[in-house]
A = this chain, B = another copy of it.
Amino acid sequence: MSAAGSNLWPRFSDIQEAAAALASVLSPSGLFRSVRLDKIVGGRLLVKSETLQPTGSFKIRGAWNKIRKLGSEDLSTGIFALSSGNHGLAVSWAARAAGARRTVILVPQDAPRAKIDGARRLGAEIVAYDRRTVDRTALVAEWRDGNGLVYMPAFDDPDVIAGAATVALHGAQSAADMDFPIDDFVVACSGGGLAAGSVLALREMSPGTKVWAVEPEDFDDTAQSMESGRRVAIRTSGSTICDALLSPEPGELTFAINRLGLAGVVRGSDHHARVGMAAAFSEFGLIVEPSGALALGAALDGALDLRGRTAMVVLSGRNVDREVFTSELVKLDRENR
């Protein structure tokens, strides 16, 4: 049985346990709705925003669910993570809340300033590396074995996936409160943790729901992997404004789950991200980062056919530099002219 065998998959009870542990951490917030957006898709959109969570993304769920289980010995040594942003912020926040002595975040040199500054303000040490030249596996080994710190994976980990799965668990609970069965559940996809968690939560809570992952068209590793039936590591010369969705390869565990559970993978464009950002601005008053808005924009721009359906779309994060946010909205206005 491979390392990604289903005995490693989080069980539904793990997801429920994560949700209970997260109750004191998460911000209260309901679903966002808009008559105008419903008209655009020709269906019913339920928008679940994770942008108001501590550190501004869903990543707090996985990070907290992992870190809360650490023993005092691990906490007194310290932890580290590799992250271009939201995972690093979430780990820094959770590590401080749990009382870790030391938190190191290894960030690519081109990571967004808003995210790096945020992690530093939360007390993390920031160590930059060059994303084009450094072997990430070797980097992890160096910090784990060399410095004895505990590694916090960003997605390919049962506890992190169980934490991420609580997004769908809470979303399905809210939808049930409103008596809306969810036909489609749409999330952005990088390493696939949020998608995999959604698959696991919804197959219990709402088995009829189709789970869709949206990834940047030039970073379509999960789409390519789904198409070829095995994990594909992409090499791309492309670029995207979705700085949180740059993973070159799906996780082993996440892909094993997503391969069986996803209804499909949609390739989203930078234009989609901008459309999603603008819609969240105008309809909900929410700042959403490009990666966090990609799923909504793809849904609104017809990349998914949601006519006559009830779809829940996740806004996964909000951490974007102010200049990037304003310039992308200006770009959208030019595209629309």
Contact = CB atoms under 8 A, between A and B. Distances in A.
Interface stretch (A15-23, A25-33, A150-158, A259-267): A25-33
A323 B318 contact: no
Interface string A309-335: 000000000110011011001100100
A281 to B, nearest CB: 6
How many identical subunits does the complex contain?
A: 2
Give the secondary structure class of A's interface: helix
A287 interface: yes
A51 interface: yes
A20 to B, nearest CB: 19
Contacts of A282: 114, 322
Contacts of A56: 285
Contacts of A126: none
Contacts of A30: 27-28
A325 B318 CA distance: 17
A333 B322 CA distance: 9
B51 A285 contact: yes
Contacts of A131: none
A232 interface: no
Nearest to A289: B285
Interface of A: 27-30, 35-36, 51-52, 56, 114, 121, 278, 281-282, 284-288, 318-319, 322-323, 325-326, 329-330, 333
24 contacts: A28-B28, A28-B29, A29-B29, A35-B121, A51-B285, A52-B284, A56-B285, A114-B282, A278-B322, A281-B322, A281-B325, A285-B287, A285-B318, A285-B319, A286-B286, A286-B287, A287-B287, A322-B329, A322-B333, A323-B333, A325-B326, A326-B326, A326-B329, A326-B330
Given A27-B30, A281-B287, 17 more contacts: A27-B29, A28-B28, A29-B29, A29-B52, A36-B121, A52-B284, A56-B285, A281-B322, A282-B322, A285-B287, A285-B318, A285-B319, A286-B286, A286-B287, A322-B329, A322-B333, A326-B330
